[in-house]
Amino acid sequence: MTASCPGTYRVAGREIRLDEDCYLENPSDWSRDVAVWIAENVEGLSLTEEHWRLVDYARAYWERRGECPPVGRLLKDLGITFEDLYRLFPSGPAEGLCRVAGVPRPGGCS
């Protein structure tokens, strides 16, 4: 991990703040540039079209429901396997996917 959390960073001309667990403090600061930066500097990932499909889904789900999607819903709606999810986001859906999508840590995750 390149980023030190908590911390404030300049990404694509904007200042973003990550909390102590490296989640975006203000989800409205999210952009695709911020997602790429978090993926590279927090998760150690280079985003592919497969990643973006999940990120866009998680972001849209959060905008509709105010939470990161439950894993079962994500797998069903996108037709992917648990193994695919962890191949794309090795730190898991609550950690990697929700961080990159710029949404708060899901409830019940610590």
- Tokens 């703040």 label which residue? 17
Q: Read out DSSP for 72-100?
A: HHHHHHHT--HHHHHHH-TT-IIIIIHHH
For residue range 11-65, list pLDDT tens digits in order: 999 999 999 999 999 999 999 999 999 999 999 999 999 999 999 999 999 999 9
| Pick from 32, 30, 28: nearest CA to 47 | 32
pLDDT tens readout for residues 68-89: 899 999 999 999 999 999 999 9
Return the CATH superfamily for domain 7-100. DsrC protein, C-terminal domain (1.10.10.370)
Q: 5, 68, 98, 109: which is the annotated catalytic residue?
A: 109
Assess whether 109 carries a catalytic annotation: yes
**Distance between CA atoms of residues 61 and 18, nearest Å:** 21
Do residues 39 and 33 lie in contact, with contact meaning Cβ atoms separated by under 8 Å? Answer: no
